[in-house]
A and B are shown apart, each in its own frame.
Chain A
Protein backbone atom coordinates (compact mmCIF):
# COMPACT_ATOMS: atom_id res chain seq x y z
CA UNK A 1 0.00 0.00 0.00
CA UNK A 2 2.93 2.23 0.74
CA UNK A 3 3.79 2.54 -2.94
CA UNK A 4 0.28 3.75 -3.83
CA UNK A 5 0.41 6.56 -1.28
CA UNK A 6 3.98 7.40 -2.30
CA UNK A 7 2.99 7.57 -5.96
CA UNK A 8 -0.25 9.49 -5.55
CA UNK A 9 1.21 12.09 -3.21
CA UNK A 10 4.18 13.01 -5.42
CA UNK A 11 3.62 15.98 -7.74
CA UNK A 12 2.99 13.82 -10.81
CA UNK A 13 0.75 11.49 -8.79
CA UNK A 14 -1.39 14.41 -7.61
CA UNK A 15 -1.72 15.49 -11.23
CA UNK A 16 -2.73 11.95 -12.17
CA UNK A 17 -5.58 12.15 -9.67
CA UNK A 18 -6.62 15.48 -11.22
CA UNK A 19 -6.48 13.99 -14.72
CA UNK A 20 -8.42 10.81 -14.00
CA UNK A 21 -11.11 12.54 -11.92
CA UNK A 22 -11.29 15.39 -14.46
CA UNK A 23 -11.81 13.04 -17.38
CA UNK A 24 -14.49 11.23 -15.36
CA UNK A 25 -16.27 14.56 -14.94
CA UNK A 26 -16.08 15.03 -18.72
CA UNK A 27 -18.01 11.76 -19.11
CA UNK A 28 -20.46 12.93 -16.45
CA UNK A 29 -20.94 16.23 -18.32
CA UNK A 30 -21.83 14.31 -21.49
CA UNK A 31 -24.56 12.32 -19.76
CA UNK A 32 -25.79 15.35 -17.79
CA UNK A 33 -25.99 17.45 -20.94
CA UNK A 34 -27.72 14.70 -22.91
CA UNK A 35 -30.32 14.41 -20.12
CA UNK A 36 -30.83 18.16 -19.82
CA UNK A 37 -31.36 18.60 -23.53
CA UNK A 38 -34.54 16.49 -23.26
CA UNK A 39 -36.07 19.77 -22.06
CA UNK A 40 -36.23 20.82 -25.74
CA UNK A 41 -38.62 17.92 -26.34
CA UNK A 42 -41.03 19.50 -23.88
CA UNK A 43 -41.82 19.36 -20.16
CA UNK A 44 -43.13 15.80 -20.34
CA UNK A 45 -39.96 14.36 -21.84
CA UNK A 46 -37.86 16.19 -19.25
CA UNK A 47 -39.97 15.01 -16.31
CA UNK A 48 -40.00 11.42 -17.57
CA UNK A 49 -36.20 11.56 -17.97
CA UNK A 50 -35.87 12.75 -14.36
CA UNK A 51 -38.28 10.11 -13.14
CA UNK A 52 -36.54 7.30 -14.99
CA UNK A 53 -33.26 8.44 -13.38
CA UNK A 54 -34.84 8.38 -9.91
CA UNK A 55 -36.38 4.98 -10.58
CA UNK A 56 -32.85 3.54 -10.75
CA UNK A 57 -32.87 3.67 -6.93
CA UNK A 58 -29.69 2.22 -5.45
CA UNK A 59 -27.84 2.60 -8.75
CA UNK A 60 -28.33 6.35 -8.84
CA UNK A 61 -27.31 6.58 -5.18
CA UNK A 62 -24.09 4.73 -5.99
CA UNK A 63 -23.44 7.01 -8.96
CA UNK A 64 -23.99 10.04 -6.74
CA UNK A 65 -21.62 8.71 -4.11
CA UNK A 66 -19.07 7.97 -6.84
CA UNK A 67 -19.34 11.53 -8.13
CA UNK A 68 -18.98 12.84 -4.58
CA UNK A 69 -15.76 10.85 -4.08
CA UNK A 70 -14.41 12.07 -7.43
CA UNK A 71 -15.34 15.65 -6.55
CA UNK A 72 -13.70 15.49 -3.11
CA UNK A 73 -10.50 14.09 -4.68
CA UNK A 74 -10.49 16.64 -7.53
CA UNK A 75 -11.09 19.57 -5.16
CA UNK A 76 -8.68 18.50 -2.40
CA UNK A 77 -5.81 17.57 -4.71
CA UNK A 78 -6.48 20.67 -6.79
CA UNK A 79 -6.23 22.96 -3.77
CA UNK A 80 -3.16 21.04 -2.53
CA UNK A 81 -1.45 21.56 -5.89
CA UNK A 82 -2.57 25.19 -6.11
CA UNK A 83 -1.08 26.06 -2.71
CA UNK A 84 2.11 24.11 -3.46
CA UNK A 85 2.52 25.91 -6.77
CA UNK A 86 2.00 29.31 -5.14
CA UNK A 87 4.75 28.63 -2.59
CA UNK A 88 7.21 27.41 -5.26
CA UNK A 89 7.97 31.03 -6.16
CA UNK A 90 8.12 33.11 -2.95
CA UNK A 91 9.53 36.20 -4.71
CA UNK A 92 7.63 37.01 -7.88
CA UNK A 93 8.68 38.90 -10.98
CA UNK A 94 8.24 42.65 -11.35
CA UNK A 95 7.49 42.10 -15.04
CA UNK A 96 6.12 38.80 -16.32
CA UNK A 97 5.00 38.20 -19.87
CA UNK A 98 3.55 35.08 -21.43
CA UNK A 99 6.12 33.59 -23.76
CA UNK A 100 3.47 31.90 -25.90
CA UNK A 101 2.52 28.72 -24.05
CA UNK A 102 -0.01 30.08 -21.62
CA UNK A 103 -3.61 30.59 -22.68
CA UNK A 104 -6.45 32.36 -20.90
CA UNK A 105 -8.04 29.04 -20.00
CA UNK A 106 -4.80 27.59 -18.60
CA UNK A 107 -3.98 30.73 -16.63
CA UNK A 108 -7.35 30.93 -14.85
CA UNK A 109 -7.67 27.17 -14.21
CA UNK A 110 -7.62 27.30 -10.37
CA UNK A 111 -10.03 30.24 -10.33
CA UNK A 112 -12.56 28.72 -12.75
CA UNK A 113 -12.28 25.56 -10.65
CA UNK A 114 -13.03 27.33 -7.38
CA UNK A 115 -15.88 29.26 -9.00
CA UNK A 116 -17.34 26.00 -10.32
CA UNK A 117 -17.18 24.58 -6.80
CA UNK A 118 -19.32 27.48 -5.55
CA UNK A 119 -21.64 27.00 -8.53
CA UNK A 120 -22.03 23.26 -7.93
CA UNK A 121 -22.94 23.80 -4.26
CA UNK A 122 -25.58 26.39 -5.18
CA UNK A 123 -26.72 24.23 -8.12
CA UNK A 124 -27.25 21.22 -5.85
CA UNK A 125 -29.10 23.30 -3.25
CA UNK A 126 -31.35 24.78 -5.94
CA UNK A 127 -32.20 21.63 -7.87
CA UNK A 128 -31.09 18.51 -6.00
CA UNK A 129 -31.93 19.22 -2.37
CA UNK A 130 -34.81 21.61 -3.10
CA UNK A 131 -38.21 21.08 -1.55
CA UNK A 132 -40.38 20.94 -4.64
CA UNK A 133 -43.65 20.95 -2.66
CA UNK A 134 -45.27 18.28 -4.84
CA UNK A 135 -44.47 20.12 -8.09
CA UNK A 136 -42.51 18.39 -10.84
CA UNK A 137 -38.89 19.08 -11.69
CA UNK A 138 -39.76 21.01 -14.85
CA UNK A 139 -41.75 23.49 -12.77
CA UNK A 140 -38.78 23.93 -10.43
CA UNK A 141 -36.34 24.48 -13.31
CA UNK A 142 -38.71 26.84 -15.10
CA UNK A 143 -39.42 29.00 -12.05
CA UNK A 144 -35.73 29.13 -11.10
CA UNK A 145 -34.76 30.42 -14.51
CA UNK A 146 -37.32 33.22 -14.38
CA UNK A 147 -34.90 34.97 -12.01
CA UNK A 148 -32.48 37.01 -14.18
CA UNK A 149 -29.87 36.95 -11.42
CA UNK A 150 -29.78 33.17 -11.40
CA UNK A 151 -29.67 33.02 -15.20
CA UNK A 152 -26.66 35.36 -15.30
CA UNK A 153 -24.92 33.42 -12.51
CA UNK A 154 -25.61 30.17 -14.38
CA UNK A 155 -24.30 31.55 -17.67
CA UNK A 156 -21.10 32.85 -16.06
CA UNK A 157 -20.61 29.42 -14.48
CA UNK A 158 -21.04 27.74 -17.87
CA UNK A 159 -18.46 30.07 -19.43
CA UNK A 160 -16.13 29.14 -16.55
CA UNK A 161 -16.86 25.46 -17.17
CA UNK A 162 -16.07 25.81 -20.88
CA UNK A 163 -12.72 27.47 -20.09
CA UNK A 164 -11.96 24.86 -17.42
CA UNK A 165 -12.70 22.01 -19.82
CA UNK A 166 -10.77 23.59 -22.69
CA UNK A 167 -7.45 23.40 -20.83
CA UNK A 168 -8.39 20.47 -18.59
CA UNK A 169 -9.27 18.05 -21.37
CA UNK A 170 -5.97 17.98 -23.28
CA UNK A 171 -4.03 18.61 -20.08
CA UNK A 172 -5.46 15.40 -18.60
CA UNK A 173 -4.21 13.42 -21.58
CA UNK A 174 -0.78 15.04 -21.27
CA UNK A 175 -0.68 14.14 -17.57
CA UNK A 176 -1.53 10.48 -18.14
CA UNK A 177 1.30 10.48 -20.68
CA UNK A 178 -0.87 10.31 -23.79
CA UNK A 179 0.92 12.99 -25.76
CA UNK A 180 1.55 11.45 -29.12
CA UNK A 181 2.28 13.25 -32.39
CA UNK A 182 -0.51 11.31 -34.10
CA UNK A 183 -3.21 11.83 -31.47
CA UNK A 184 -2.45 15.07 -29.62
CA UNK A 185 -3.65 17.44 -32.38
CA UNK A 186 -6.96 15.51 -32.45
CA UNK A 187 -7.21 15.48 -28.64
CA UNK A 188 -6.74 19.27 -28.56
CA UNK A 189 -9.44 19.77 -31.21
CA UNK A 190 -11.84 17.41 -29.45
CA UNK A 191 -11.18 19.30 -26.21
CA UNK A 192 -12.00 22.61 -27.86
CA UNK A 193 -15.20 21.28 -29.46
CA UNK A 194 -16.21 19.61 -26.20
CA UNK A 195 -15.65 22.80 -24.21
CA UNK A 196 -17.81 24.72 -26.69
CA UNK A 197 -20.49 22.02 -26.42
CA UNK A 198 -20.43 22.32 -22.64
CA UNK A 199 -20.60 26.12 -22.75
CA UNK A 200 -23.30 26.44 -25.39
CA UNK A 201 -25.14 23.20 -24.54
CA UNK A 202 -25.71 24.01 -20.88
CA UNK A 203 -25.82 27.74 -21.55
CA UNK A 204 -28.73 27.54 -24.01
CA UNK A 205 -31.01 25.92 -21.39
CA UNK A 206 -31.60 28.93 -19.10
CA UNK A 207 -31.87 31.25 -22.10
CA UNK A 208 -34.45 28.98 -23.74
CA UNK A 209 -36.40 28.56 -20.48
CA UNK A 210 -36.36 32.23 -19.51
CA UNK A 211 -37.64 33.16 -22.98
CA UNK A 212 -40.28 30.43 -23.25
Chain B
Protein backbone atom coordinates (compact mmCIF):
# COMPACT_ATOMS: atom_id res chain seq x y z
CA UNK B 1 0.00 0.00 0.00
CA UNK B 2 1.36 3.36 -0.90
CA UNK B 3 1.34 6.06 1.68
CA UNK B 4 0.52 9.67 1.03
CA UNK B 5 2.33 12.68 2.44
CA UNK B 6 1.73 16.40 2.52
CA UNK B 7 4.55 18.80 1.79
CA UNK B 8 5.21 22.52 1.78
CA UNK B 9 7.16 23.63 -1.29
CA UNK B 10 9.11 26.86 -1.54
CA UNK B 11 9.71 27.16 -5.25
CA UNK B 12 11.79 29.73 -7.11
CA UNK B 13 9.49 31.53 -9.55
CA UNK B 14 10.99 33.76 -12.23
CA UNK B 15 8.86 34.77 -15.25
CA UNK B 16 11.82 35.17 -17.61
CA UNK B 17 15.62 35.21 -17.75
CA UNK B 18 15.84 38.97 -17.21
CA UNK B 19 12.94 39.18 -14.75
CA UNK B 20 13.37 39.33 -11.01
CA UNK B 21 12.54 36.07 -9.25
CA UNK B 22 11.22 35.21 -5.81
CA UNK B 23 10.16 32.20 -3.77
CA UNK B 24 6.50 31.18 -3.78
CA UNK B 25 5.03 28.76 -1.28
CA UNK B 26 2.77 25.92 -2.40
CA UNK B 27 1.13 23.03 -0.61
CA UNK B 28 1.61 19.60 -2.19
CA UNK B 29 -1.26 17.57 -0.78
CA UNK B 30 -1.84 13.80 -0.80
CA UNK B 31 1.40 12.98 -2.59
CA UNK B 32 1.87 9.24 -3.05
CA UNK B 33 5.28 8.11 -1.78
CA UNK B 34 5.57 6.00 -4.94
CA UNK B 35 5.67 9.15 -7.05
CA UNK B 36 8.87 10.57 -8.42
CA UNK B 37 9.84 14.11 -7.52
CA UNK B 38 8.80 15.33 -10.98
CA UNK B 39 5.43 13.56 -10.73
CA UNK B 40 4.91 15.40 -7.47
CA UNK B 41 5.60 18.66 -9.32
CA UNK B 42 3.15 17.53 -12.04
CA UNK B 43 0.44 17.15 -9.38
CA UNK B 44 1.16 20.63 -8.04
CA UNK B 45 1.13 22.03 -11.60
CA UNK B 46 -2.20 20.37 -12.42
CA UNK B 47 -3.79 22.12 -9.48
CA UNK B 48 -2.15 25.44 -10.43
CA UNK B 49 -3.56 25.05 -13.97
CA UNK B 50 -7.05 24.32 -12.68
CA UNK B 51 -6.80 27.43 -10.50
CA UNK B 52 -5.83 29.42 -13.59
CA UNK B 53 -2.31 30.05 -12.34
CA UNK B 54 0.96 29.72 -14.22
CA UNK B 55 2.38 26.22 -13.65
CA UNK B 56 5.95 25.83 -12.42
CA UNK B 57 8.37 25.45 -15.35
CA UNK B 58 10.95 22.72 -14.82
CA UNK B 59 13.30 20.78 -17.08
CA UNK B 60 12.49 17.13 -17.78
CA UNK B 61 12.55 14.67 -20.63
CA UNK B 62 13.16 10.91 -20.36
CA UNK B 63 12.27 10.59 -16.66
CA UNK B 64 14.44 7.45 -16.61
CA UNK B 65 17.60 9.03 -15.24
CA UNK B 66 19.53 8.82 -18.48
CA UNK B 67 18.95 12.00 -20.50
CA UNK B 68 20.41 14.62 -18.17
CA UNK B 69 17.60 17.09 -18.73
CA UNK B 70 16.09 17.30 -15.25
CA UNK B 71 17.59 18.73 -12.12
CA UNK B 72 16.88 21.29 -9.45
CA UNK B 73 18.47 22.06 -6.13
CA UNK B 74 16.30 20.53 -3.39
CA UNK B 75 17.03 21.74 0.12
CA UNK B 76 20.51 22.83 -0.90
CA UNK B 77 21.54 19.68 -2.76
CA UNK B 78 21.38 19.31 -6.57
CA UNK B 79 19.07 16.40 -7.53
CA UNK B 80 17.96 16.16 -3.89
CA UNK B 81 19.16 14.09 -0.96
CA UNK B 82 19.48 10.67 -2.61
CA UNK B 83 22.98 9.72 -3.81
CA UNK B 84 23.61 8.81 -7.46
CA UNK B 85 20.05 9.72 -8.42
CA UNK B 86 18.63 12.22 -10.87
CA UNK B 87 15.66 14.29 -9.74
CA UNK B 88 13.29 12.23 -11.92
CA UNK B 89 14.42 9.03 -10.21
CA UNK B 90 14.13 10.50 -6.72
CA UNK B 91 11.04 9.06 -5.09
CA UNK B 92 8.86 10.80 -2.59
CA UNK B 93 9.33 7.99 -0.05
CA UNK B 94 12.63 9.69 0.79
CA UNK B 95 10.69 12.56 2.30
CA UNK B 96 8.60 12.67 5.43
CA UNK B 97 5.10 14.00 5.92
CA UNK B 98 5.00 17.78 6.52
CA UNK B 99 8.54 18.33 5.21
CA UNK B 100 9.33 21.72 3.75
CA UNK B 101 11.27 21.57 0.49
CA UNK B 102 13.11 24.55 -0.95
CA UNK B 103 13.42 24.08 -4.72
CA UNK B 104 15.84 26.27 -6.67
CA UNK B 105 17.29 26.25 -10.18
CA UNK B 106 20.98 25.54 -10.94
CA UNK B 107 22.88 28.73 -10.08
CA UNK B 108 25.84 29.74 -12.20
CA UNK B 109 26.91 32.70 -14.31
CA UNK B 110 27.21 30.32 -17.26
CA UNK B 111 23.69 28.88 -16.78
CA UNK B 112 20.92 31.42 -17.20
CA UNK B 113 17.50 30.78 -15.71
CA UNK B 114 15.01 30.61 -18.59
CA UNK B 115 11.93 30.42 -16.40
CA UNK B 116 11.37 29.26 -12.81
CA UNK B 117 13.46 26.07 -12.48
CA UNK B 118 14.28 25.70 -16.19
CA UNK B 119 17.90 26.55 -16.89
CA UNK B 120 19.76 27.20 -20.14
CA UNK B 121 22.68 24.76 -20.21
CA UNK B 122 23.76 25.47 -23.77
CA UNK B 123 27.16 26.42 -22.30
CA UNK B 124 27.73 22.65 -22.06
CA UNK B 125 26.83 22.28 -25.75
CA UNK B 126 29.35 24.99 -26.58
CA UNK B 127 31.98 23.09 -24.61
CA UNK B 128 31.23 19.91 -26.56
CA UNK B 129 31.38 21.85 -29.83
CA UNK B 130 34.83 23.06 -28.80
CA UNK B 131 36.36 19.61 -28.45
CA UNK B 132 34.07 16.90 -27.14
CA UNK B 133 34.31 14.82 -30.31
CA UNK B 134 36.77 13.09 -32.62
CA UNK B 135 37.25 14.09 -36.25
CA UNK B 136 37.11 10.64 -37.83
CA UNK B 137 35.10 9.37 -40.70
CA UNK B 138 32.37 7.15 -39.37
CA UNK B 139 31.37 4.95 -42.26
CA UNK B 140 31.00 1.22 -41.77
CA UNK B 141 31.45 -0.53 -38.43
CA UNK B 142 35.20 -1.23 -37.98
CA UNK B 143 36.55 -4.71 -37.37
CA UNK B 144 36.26 -5.40 -33.64
CA UNK B 145 39.89 -6.30 -33.01
CA UNK B 146 41.46 -3.68 -35.26
CA UNK B 147 42.23 -1.42 -32.28
CA UNK B 148 43.04 -3.27 -29.08
CA UNK B 149 41.84 -1.68 -25.86
CA UNK B 150 42.20 -3.39 -22.50
CA UNK B 151 39.04 -4.09 -20.59
CA UNK B 152 40.23 -1.91 -17.66
CA UNK B 153 40.82 1.08 -19.94
CA UNK B 154 37.50 0.56 -21.64
CA UNK B 155 35.83 0.53 -18.20
CA UNK B 156 37.54 3.79 -17.18
CA UNK B 157 36.49 5.43 -20.44
CA UNK B 158 32.94 4.15 -19.99
CA UNK B 159 32.84 5.46 -16.40
CA UNK B 160 33.74 8.91 -17.72
CA UNK B 161 31.32 8.56 -20.64
CA UNK B 162 28.48 7.88 -18.19
CA UNK B 163 28.20 11.68 -17.79
CA UNK B 164 24.74 12.78 -18.89
CA UNK B 165 25.60 16.49 -18.87
CA UNK B 166 22.92 17.44 -16.35
CA UNK B 167 25.01 20.21 -14.82
CA UNK B 168 24.62 19.13 -11.18
CA UNK B 169 28.42 19.34 -10.81
CA UNK B 170 28.33 23.04 -11.69
CA UNK B 171 25.31 23.60 -9.44
CA UNK B 172 27.00 21.92 -6.47
CA UNK B 173 30.46 23.43 -6.94
CA UNK B 174 31.12 26.31 -4.52
CA UNK B 175 32.86 28.00 -7.47
CA UNK B 176 30.30 27.00 -10.15
CA UNK B 177 33.10 25.24 -11.98
CA UNK B 178 32.55 22.87 -14.91
CA UNK B 179 35.72 20.88 -14.26
CA UNK B 180 33.97 17.56 -13.61
CA UNK B 181 31.97 17.83 -16.85
CA UNK B 182 35.00 18.86 -18.91
CA UNK B 183 37.15 16.30 -17.06
CA UNK B 184 34.73 13.52 -17.95
CA UNK B 185 34.50 14.57 -21.60
CA UNK B 186 38.26 14.95 -21.98
CA UNK B 187 38.87 11.65 -20.16
CA UNK B 188 36.46 9.50 -22.14
CA UNK B 189 38.29 10.49 -25.33
CA UNK B 190 41.85 10.75 -23.96
CA UNK B 191 41.67 7.21 -22.58
CA UNK B 192 40.97 5.66 -25.96
CA UNK B 193 43.30 5.47 -28.98
CA UNK B 194 40.70 7.11 -31.22
CA UNK B 195 40.79 10.21 -29.02
CA UNK B 196 44.57 10.55 -28.74
CA UNK B 197 45.36 12.33 -32.04
CA UNK B 198 43.34 15.40 -30.99
CA UNK B 199 43.90 15.11 -27.21
CA UNK B 200 46.31 18.06 -26.88
CA UNK B 201 44.20 20.45 -28.94
CA UNK B 202 40.99 19.29 -27.28
CA UNK B 203 42.05 19.85 -23.67
CA UNK B 204 43.49 23.30 -24.33
CA UNK B 205 40.49 24.43 -26.35
CA UNK B 206 37.93 23.10 -23.86
CA UNK B 207 39.62 24.72 -20.85
CA UNK B 208 39.87 28.03 -22.69
CA UNK B 209 36.18 27.81 -23.61
CA UNK B 210 35.24 26.87 -20.05
CA UNK B 211 36.96 30.02 -18.72
CA UNK B 212 35.42 32.16 -21.45
CA UNK B 213 31.89 30.94 -20.60
CA UNK B 214 32.28 32.20 -17.03
CA UNK B 215 32.61 28.95 -15.09
CA UNK B 216 34.77 29.14 -11.95
CA UNK B 217 38.00 27.29 -11.22
CA UNK B 218 38.33 24.00 -9.34
CA UNK B 219 39.13 24.07 -5.61
CA UNK B 220 39.14 20.27 -5.29
CA UNK B 221 36.27 20.30 -2.82
CA UNK B 222 34.70 17.23 -4.47
CA UNK B 223 31.12 18.48 -4.04
CA UNK B 224 30.60 17.69 -7.75
CA UNK B 225 31.49 14.04 -7.27
CA UNK B 226 29.16 13.82 -4.27
CA UNK B 227 26.09 15.00 -6.21
CA UNK B 228 26.84 13.47 -9.62
CA UNK B 229 23.94 11.14 -10.51
CA UNK B 230 26.40 9.02 -12.48
CA UNK B 231 29.06 9.12 -9.74
CA UNK B 232 31.75 10.49 -12.05
CA UNK B 233 35.00 10.52 -10.07
CA UNK B 234 37.20 13.58 -9.57
CA UNK B 235 40.10 11.43 -10.81
CA UNK B 236 38.77 12.60 -14.18
CA UNK B 237 39.61 16.17 -13.10
CA UNK B 238 43.15 15.03 -12.27
CA UNK B 239 43.34 13.42 -15.72
CA UNK B 240 42.16 16.71 -17.26
CA UNK B 241 44.94 18.53 -15.37
CA UNK B 242 47.46 15.93 -16.51
CA UNK B 243 46.28 16.25 -20.10
CA UNK B 244 46.67 20.03 -19.93
CA UNK B 245 50.23 19.74 -18.56
CA UNK B 246 51.10 17.22 -21.27
CA UNK B 247 49.51 19.36 -23.98
CA UNK B 248 50.99 22.67 -22.85
CA UNK B 249 54.52 21.48 -22.17
CA UNK B 250 54.75 18.57 -24.58
CA UNK B 251 52.84 19.38 -27.72
CA UNK B 252 54.41 21.56 -30.44
CA UNK B 253 51.53 24.05 -30.32
Residues of A within 8 A of B (CB): 3, 6-7, 10-16, 81, 84-85, 87-103, 106-107, 109, 167, 170-171, 174-179, 181, 184
Known: A7-B248, A175-B241. A93 touches B219 (CB 8 A): no
Q: Inter-chain contact count A-B, CB under 8 Å?
A: 144
Known: A98-B223, A170-B220. 4 other contacts (CB 8 A): A11-B210, A88-B214, A95-B76, A97-B77
A106 touches B221 (CB 8 A): yes
A85 touches B76 (CB 8 A): no
A97 contacts which of B12, B75, B208, B214 (Cβ < 8 Å)?
B75
Q: How near does chain B come to A11, taking the closest CB pair, in angstroms?
A: 4
Chain A to chain B contacts (Cβ below 8 Å), 21 pairs: A3-B253, A6-B248, A10-B211, A10-B244, A15-B241, A84-B175, A89-B175, A92-B107, A93-B104, A93-B107, A96-B73, A99-B172, A99-B223, A100-B223, A101-B224, A101-B226, A102-B223, A107-B174, A174-B234, A174-B241, A179-B238
Interface residues on B, range: 35 or more
- Docked CA distance A87–B110 (Å): 11
A10 touches B208 (CB 8 A): yes
Residues of B within 8 A of A (CB): 10, 12, 23, 73, 75-78, 102, 104, 107-110, 172, 174-177, 179, 204, 207-208, 210-211, 214-227, 234-235, 237-245, 248-249, 253
B215 contacts which of A13, A88, A109 (Cβ < 8 Å)?
A88
A11 touches B211 (CB 8 A): yes
Closest 6 interchain pairs by CB? A177-B242, A101-B222, A88-B216, A179-B238, A97-B76, A85-B175
- Docked CA distance A12–B217 (Å): 7
- Docked CA distance A178–B242 (Å): 8
